[in-house]
Amino acid sequence: GVVVFLFGIVAMLAVTKSHNDAISGYIANLYSFHSWVGVTVLSLFTLQFLVGILSFGGFLSGSSRLGNPTLMEIHKYTGTYIHILVTATIMLGIQEKEGFVNCSYTVDSPDLFPISNYGKIPDTCKISHGLGIVILAMGVCTTLALAKFPVL
């Protein structure tokens, strides 16, 4: 938790620094849906982190290290929700960058069989598409791993 929190702070500082750099040009900080979802994720994670430390670390009066079972269920649900939002934020970031590098191709007729135009997609975009699919698969698999299915 602490490492992820620190990485989040470093990421926000890096984005703010790169967007406010006079040499490479100024960029608005909250111009995209990716940035808004990212700020939401970092805010929710920070809240989740603080509630976890205070509640389950025994720092709140009357709380024990075992914590409140109801609060634990809320904490687990919120953690899964944040994980899904992180996956979505990463995919939104990939999609945003694909727009910057023009991940499109020209067609002269209806694109009824898009796979036939696969060769027209820039290589950079093929890599980012593949990365997006891997991230989506990892998000689905790790979220599925959190589920408690009954043993048959």
Gap between the Cα atoms of 142 and 84, Å rounded: 9
Given a cut of 80, is residue 68 above it in pLDDT? no
Give me the residues paired with residue 25 across strands: 21
Q: What confidence tens digit (pLDDT) does each residue in 88-144 have?
A: 999 999 999 998 888 888 888 898 998 888 898 999 999 999 999 999 999 999 999
Mean pLDDT, residues 17-31 taken together: 84
Residue 25 to residue 28: CA distance in whole angstroms: 10
pLDDT value at residue 56:
77
Q: Which amino acid is at 139?
A: G
Give the pLDDT band of residue 10 (cuts 50, 70, 90). very high
Any residues with CB less than 8 A from the CB of 95 and at least 6 apart, and which?
34, 132
Per DSSP, the three-state class of 10 is helix
Residue-averaged pLDDT of the chain: 87
Element (DSSP H or E) covering residue 118:
none
Whether pTM exceeds 0.85: no
- 61 has a pLDDT exceeding 60: no
Rounded to 5°, angle at Cα 90 from 6 and 97: 115
